[in-house]
Amino acid sequence: MTSTAPHLREDLLTPRFYTTEIEKAAKTDLRVQGAVFEAMLNEMEADYNRHHFDRKVPLDRLRGLNCEEKDAYESYLVRSCVSEFSGFLLFKELSRQLQKAGRLDLSRLFNLMARDEARHAGFLNRALVAEGIEIDLPALSVKRPVTWFPLSWVLYSVYLSEKIGYWRYILIDRHLKAHPENAFAPLFDFFEPWCQDENRHGDIFNMLLRCWPGLRQGLRGRLLSRIFLWSVFLTHSLTVCERGNFYKLLGMDPSGFDEEVMRNTNRTARRAFPVVFDLEGRAYFELRDQLVEVFRAIKSSAEEPASPARLLKSLGLKARFAGLLLRQFSQPMVPSSGAIA
C-alpha cells in the first residue's frame, strides 16, 4: 500500500486539505434559519441514499482500455478520491470541534455530511483497488500540508464546490444514460445519488451563509462572489483541460462540458450570492479558451531542456497568463435579481 498517490502531482490544481475558524463557526446563529436548519437536519438523518450505495457491487471496469485511456481514468479516480476525502476531513474536524464547543446541533449536521463524503471517497477508493492502485488516505492527509481559510472563504468555496460537483456528476450521468455504450465502469451508476448528496450539501452551505448576512451584503458580498466564482471556474477549466482525455473517453467534448457546468453553476449561485458573472455572451469563455491554450503552452515549455531561450519564453507565457487572468477576473457581473432573501 502506498502513502503517496500516483497521478497526483503537487501543483495549484492538486486537491488540498483545509481547516478554518472553529471558534467563529461555533457562533453561527441558527435562529435566523431555524426552520430550514431543522428540515435539512431531518433530511440528512433520513439518509435517503443509504440503500443507493451498494458496497457489495463490484467496481471493476467493464472493458479494456489502452495505456493512455487507463491513465486518464485512473488520474480522474485518484484526484476525485483525494478531493472527497478532503471534504470528509474538513467536515469531521468541524463536527469534532463544534461538539467540544457545545454546538451539538451544528456538530451533528457536519458529522452527517462527513458520512456522505466518506461514502464517496470509499467508492472511489474501491474503484482504484479494482485498478490495482491502493492509496493510504490517512497517511496522505498527514503528509500533505493543511491550508487555513477564514470561515467566510470556507462557506463561499464549499458552497460552490458542492454545487459545481452536483452539475459535474449530473451532466455526466445524463450523458451516459443517453449513451450507455460509453459507461465503461459500474462506478458511473452511482453518479445520480452522488450528485443528490452534493446538491444537498450545497443547500446546507447556502443556509449557513444566510446565518451570516454580513457575508453577502455590500461590497464585501460582491467581492467574495467575484473571487470565488472566478477561482472555482478557473480551477474547473484547467482541471478539465488536464483531464481532457477522460471526458473524451466518455464521449464528451471537454470544452463544451466545462462551459455547461459553469453556466449551470453560475445560474444556481444566484440563490446564494448577491451577484454572478454575466455568462450570456461568449466573452468569458473566449478568455477561458485563451487561458487553457497558454496553460498548455506553459506546461509544454517546462518540459523543454533548460536554456536562456526557454526561460524567456516561460516568462513571456506567464506574463500573458497573468494578463488573461486579470481580464477574466474583471468580467462583468449581474445582480442576482432579488434571489438573496
- Domain limits for position 216: 17-277
Q: What is the chain's mean pLDDT, rounded? A: 90
Distance of CA 129 to the CA centre of its chain: 23
Confirm whether 42 is domain-assigned. yes
Give the C-alpha separation, 171 to 110, whole Å. 27
pLDDT of residue 15: 57
**Residue 85 is part of a domain; what is its CATH number?**
1.10.620.20
Confirm whether 142 is domain-assigned. yes
Confirm whether 134 is domain-assigned. yes
Confirm whether 292 is domain-assigned. no
* Structure-block grid coordinates of residue 93: 474536524
Confirm whether 329 is domain-assigned. no
Domain count, the chain: 1
Per-position DSSP letters for 185-253, written without gaps between them: SGGGGGHHHHHHHHHHHHHHHHHHHHTSGGGGSHHHHHHHHHHHHHHHHHHHHHHHHHTHHHHHHTT--
Reported as a single tens digit per residue, the pLDDT across 205-227 is 999 999 999 999 999 999 999 99
Residue 5 has pLDDT above 60, yes or no: no
Confirm whether 270 is domain-assigned. yes
Confirm whether 11 is domain-assigned. no
Reported as a single tens digit per residue, the pLDDT across 262-321 is 999 999 999 999 999 999 999 999 999 999 999 999 989 988 888 998 899 999 999 999
pLDDT of residue 19: 81
Of 134, 44, 3, 147, nearest in space to 89 by CA = 147
* Structure-block grid coordinates of residue 302: 517546462
Q: Mean per-residue pLDDT for 327-341?
A: 82
Contact present, 107 and 95 (Cβ < 8 Å):
yes
Confirm whether 226 is domain-assigned. yes
Residue 3 has pLDDT above 70, yes or no: no
Reported as a single tens digit per residue, the pLDDT across 88-127 is 989 999 999 999 999 999 999 999 999 999 999 989 999 9
